[in-house]
């Protein structure tokens, strides 16, 4: 058996363990760790680096395209390096460039998972977990984008409960989740033109993603029922 065949066999086995569920659990664990180490930039950078490793593992499992995997590594390698450097030096420039690359990687992985979900005619358990994992990836990507905006344009995001203070990453992630889900609680406000455009893009994407997922799942469920009926006959 060649090395390529061995990797294909390993990937097939790992798919049986629902890698999307593993990614979703890792993302939710990150939320807990962010809360535990709130305000500690070095710890957040290390958590981000660990999250990127998990993300790449899942992308490798669910994506059979070598080109997609190489593009992901080209983005992730400098992102991982900058995350580790940010944990050591914690300079705004390193944080900005690290978050920019991480945002790109999260969006790229979310798009890859959407392609993965769309590539099947029947509902699988891992695809259902991929729905939630893709949502969290989009939220993380926009959170990093907000952080880049805040670093490069201080004062572009306002916290109504603490005027004059810059938002922490957890607060920006909270802003991202509320925008993506169209909840819009309003205690964290985008006040500059570029952050407001970013927020509008996220709201549009969030509504579109939910509509796409609902219509897709309905179609897949119908296909699954038709397959079961044909097998019974």
Number of independent structural domains in the chain: 1
Assigned token pair, 99: 């978050």
Position 197 scores a pLDDT of 94
Helix axes 41-62, 66-89, angle to 10 degrees: 170
Task: List pLDDT tens digits, range 135-150.
Answer: 999 999 999 999 999 9
Residue span of the structural domain in which 105 resides: 3-232
Task: List pLDDT tens digits, range 204-233.
Answer: 999 999 888 878 777 777 766 666 666 666
Neighbours of 169 (CB within 10 A): 23
Q: What is the CA radius of gyration of the chain?
A: 19
Position 3 pLDDT exceeds 60: no
Pairing between strand 188-190 and 157-159? antiparallel
The DSSP H or E segment spanning 65 is none
Least confident span in 80-84, 94-98, 184-188: 184-188
């Amino acid at each position: 058996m060649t090395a390529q065949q061995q990797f294909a066999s390993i990937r097939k086995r790992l798919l049986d363990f629902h890698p999307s569920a593993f990614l979703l659990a890792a993302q939710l664990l990150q939320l807990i760790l962010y809360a535990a180490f709130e305000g500690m930039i070095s710890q957040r950078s290390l958590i981000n680096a660990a999250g990127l490793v998990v993300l790449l593992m899942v992308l490798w499992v669910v994506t059979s395209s070598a080109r997609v995997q190489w593009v992901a590594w080209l983005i992730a390698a400098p992102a991982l390096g900058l995350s580790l450097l940010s944990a050591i030096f914690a300079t705004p420039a390193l944080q900005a460039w690290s978050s920019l690359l991480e945002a790109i990687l999260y969006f790229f992985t979310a798009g890859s998972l959407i392609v993965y979900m769309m590539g099947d005619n029947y509902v699988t358990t891992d695809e259902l977990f991929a729905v939630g994992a893709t949502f969290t990836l989009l939220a993380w990507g926009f959170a990093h984008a907000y952080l880049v905006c805040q670093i490069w344009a201080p004062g572009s995001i306002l916290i109504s409960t603490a005027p004059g203070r810059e938002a922490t990453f957890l607060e920006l992630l909270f802003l991202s989740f509320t925008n993506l889900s169209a909840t819009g609680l309003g205690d964290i406000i985008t006040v500059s033109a570029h952050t407001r455009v970013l927020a509008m893009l996220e709201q549009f994407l969030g509504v579109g993603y939910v509509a796409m997922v609902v219509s897709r799942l309905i179609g897949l469920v119908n296909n699954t029922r038709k397959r079961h009926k044909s097998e019974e006959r």
